[in-house]
């Protein structure tokens, strides 16, 4: 089936199947064909399961014919980062250490997607143990950007970014501890949301830093992300950290959204400190669109941001080193040099410094929310301040400036994780190297609906999110 015959979004795919315009098997077969053709170029899968996917599609087609109720993702092929557990199925977490790990339970978010009718194509490539913003992986091979395979996908959810951007899967789950949903979304031309900390259950999901980890979808449109987040969000008795704040009808915020009179804040400090001219120009162009839609653009100061990277590093480093303590002692040679170099410093942080980084977090978050969201509805900022770099440029051994480039990768994304705030990445055009660039909208805690509303208004006025790579 040709690409121009396929639905262009999760919502369109679910509607096409429900109406009988196409079957789940037809759609799944088309995705499988594309996966088989593009996997050698992109290396986006670690585990590919075409037979199971087709069997699931046949069962869903039979269910639809029976007249029984169907879910909001009925028959939609998806694939997820290889850190979402399915009982008895290998979940490598992108590592050598877990290459044969078979969990004894299934992630709550996977169960909810299955119940909604999603079809699982396989598990996707990722940075080792989700510790890396570029997408490199020495154990399973580097994942490649479908816009230009010499360039990185962004990490750590690189396989999800690559597979969804290449139109192999309609959507997929990533994880975001320092930007790992927003970065591959931005670098691959997708929409992706990091929800409020605790909004989505993390039961059955490999952990990196339990104070900063978030589960979120990468998809083609804001409406797609809203539908998926509405399915996976909400309290889970298996995850004591999950919030019982009621889940809004997120998708309703994306239907004919009006934003006239809303205030969009542009940071005067921090976020533009390391932004290139062409990325800044794209950010300004997106703000002009918002002005045309009736939004008010105002400048705001963001408090405490100079401290946030150090505080986040202390929290992430300490918690990651705690989770990996036994392996660091017993199997250090089974880590890549890059991941080992990033985890080991966490063993050296004093407990007092870690606890202090956690203790000041609520105060800093409250200060940020008060000072920023009392004057604007959302904060608008770049996701990545530079054009998408190449795989060689971001290789630890191939670039003496690696450390500086690595810090640039998460400069704009990490604050939202430490603050626990929701943030959505939205495609906003292309830089001169032909690779995508995106802005992010950051909101109050549990204000995902507002983010969806403002992001959807932009996508209704532009078509960057509908651009697809030729591969």
Which residues are the active-site residues? Answer: 81, 156, 180
Taking a C-beta distance cutoff of 8 angstroms, is the pair 297, 291 a contact? yes
Cβ burial 17-39 (10 Å sphere, 16+ → b, else e)? beeeebbbbbbbbbbbebbeebb
What is the C-alpha R_g of the chain? 21
Give the whole-angstrom CA distance, residue 390 versus residue 386: 12
Cα gap 127→81, rounded to integer Å: 10
* Strand order across the 215-219 sheet: 171-175, 215-219, 191-194, 423-430, 436-442, 378-382, 263-267, 296-300
Dihedral sign computed on CA atoms, order 144, 146, 150, 153: negative
Tally Cβ neighbours within 10 Å of residue 67: 7
Three-state DSSP class for 428?
Answer: strand
DSSP-derived letter for residue 68 is -
Measuring CA to CA, which residue among 404, 367, 216, 381 is closest to residue 297? 381
Tracing tokens 């098997």 back to the chain, one arrives at 25
Measured CA to CA, the distance from residue 457 to residue 455 in angstroms comes to 5
For the record, the structure tokens of 441 come out as 């909208």
Structure tokens at 59: 């069962």
């Amino acid at each position: 089936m040709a690409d121009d015959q396929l639905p262009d979004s999760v919502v369109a795919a679910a509607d096409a199947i429900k109406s009988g315009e196409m079957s789940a098997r037809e759609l799944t077969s088309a995705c499988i064909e594309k996966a088989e053709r593009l996997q050698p170029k992109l290396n986006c899968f670690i585990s590919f399961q075409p037979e199971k996917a087709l069997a699931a599609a046949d069962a869903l087609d039979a269910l639809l014919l029976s007249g029984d109720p169907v879910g909001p993702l009925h028959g939609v092929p998806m694939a997820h980062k290889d850190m979402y557990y399915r009982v008895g199925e290998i979940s490598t977490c992108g590592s050598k250490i877990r290459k044969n790990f078979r969990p004894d339970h299934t992630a709550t978010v996977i169960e909810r997607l299955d119940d909604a009718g999603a079809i699982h194509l396989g598990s996707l490539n990722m940075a080792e143990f989700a510790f890396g913003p570029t997408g490199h992986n020495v154990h399973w091979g580097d994942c490649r950007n479908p816009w230009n395979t010499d360039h990185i996908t962004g990490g750590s959810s690189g396989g999800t970014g690559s597979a969804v951007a290449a139109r192999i899967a309609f959507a997929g789950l990533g994880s975001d501890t320092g930007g790992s949903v927003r970065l591959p979304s931005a670098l691959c031309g997708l929409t992706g949301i990091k929800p409020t900390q605790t909004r989505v259950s993390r039961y059955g999901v490999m952990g990196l830093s339990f104070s900063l980890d978030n589960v979120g979808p990468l998809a083609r449109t804001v409406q797609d992300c809203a539908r998926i987040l509405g399915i996976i969000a909400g309290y889970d008795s298996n995850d004591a950290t999950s919030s019982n704040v009621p889940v809004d009808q997120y998708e309703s915020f994306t239907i004919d959204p009006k934003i006239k009179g809303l205030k969009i804040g542009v940071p005067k400090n921090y976020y533009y400190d390391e932004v290139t001219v062409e990325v800044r120009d794209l950010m300004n162009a997106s703000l002009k669109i918002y002005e045309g839609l009736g939004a008010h653009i105002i400048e705001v100061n963001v408090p405490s941001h100079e401290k946030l990277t150090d505080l986040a590093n202390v929290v992430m480093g300490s918690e990651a080193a705690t989770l990996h303590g036994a392996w660091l002692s017993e199997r250090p040679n089974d880590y890549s040099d890059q991941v080992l170099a990033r985890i080991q410093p966490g063993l050296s942080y004093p407990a007092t410094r870690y606890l202090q980084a956690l203790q000041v977090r609520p105060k800093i978050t409250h200060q940020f929310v008060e000072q920023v969201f009392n004057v604007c509805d959302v904060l608008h900022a770049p996701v990545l301040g530079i054009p998408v770099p190449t795989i060689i440029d971001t290789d630890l051994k191939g670039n003496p400036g690696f450390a500086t480039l690595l810090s640039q990768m998460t400069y704009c994304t990490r604050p939202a994780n430490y603050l626990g705030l929701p943030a959505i990445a939205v495609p906003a055009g292309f830089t001169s190297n032909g690779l995508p660039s995106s802005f992010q909208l950051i909101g109050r805690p549990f204000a995902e609906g507002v983010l969806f509303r403002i992001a959807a208004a932009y996508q209704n006025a532009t078509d960057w999110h509908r651009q697809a790579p030729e591969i």
